[in-house]
Structure 1
Amino acid sequence: MMSIHPGQLDQWLASAEQTAPGQSPVVLDVREPWELQTASVSAQGFELIPMPMRSVPARYLELDRDRPIACLCHHGARSAQVVHFLMQQGFTQTVNIHGGINAWSHERDPAVPVY
């Protein structure tokens, strides 16, 4: 499974544009609704799709297999499980954001609250 750090997101977005031209990359936030209210990222250069982990098996068909997807959670464990699940369903351009939104706050945007 491929994993990127939040600090590598811009590089991943540029690479995604090369491998899937015209396909807007997705950051799939698999945290719970209360977590999204506590801390959220601003969508810059990607589409942000909230989909709590427990709902992914029922909702993954809403996602386009051809779009690059980076999965985000609190520290990276839930998102890693979702990446594994999506890969089993035939998604090929899926990565885990290692360290989750906690690392995002430290590496990309200190305005994102740590919880």
Structure 2
Amino acid sequence: MGRVVKGVAAWRQGDLKAFGQLVFESGYSSINYWETGCPELIAIYEIMKHIPGIYGGRFSGAGFKGCCVGLINPDYKEQIAEQMTKEYLALFPQYKDIFSIHFCKTDDGVREI
């Protein structure tokens, strides 16, 4: 709960670096305290931690065909895609035909239409 409270405060302050670090901590907690994830998703999480332009990340989803979610600086989008792909496929070349990266924008949240 402490991480959530800190995350809300960081988000309200617009501190993406602090918020991202908390997301990385959440990923660490899932892997090390809850023993979740598979080698492929854990590898993506580990790669995300050292790529410039990624504020934070963790895996999401359950079971097969999970994914990782990252909070990024969009100015680094091309470099992130290139480095993530290069490092991941060096570890798991068998996924070269199915590994993909998708960039999304957030919306303003729930509202009446």
Question: TM-score when scaled to structure 1?
Answer: 0.28
From the CA coordinates, give the structure whose radius of gyration is larger. Answer: 2
**Larger proportion of helix:** 2
**Larger proportion of strand:** 1
Question: TM-score when scaled to structure 2?
Answer: 0.28
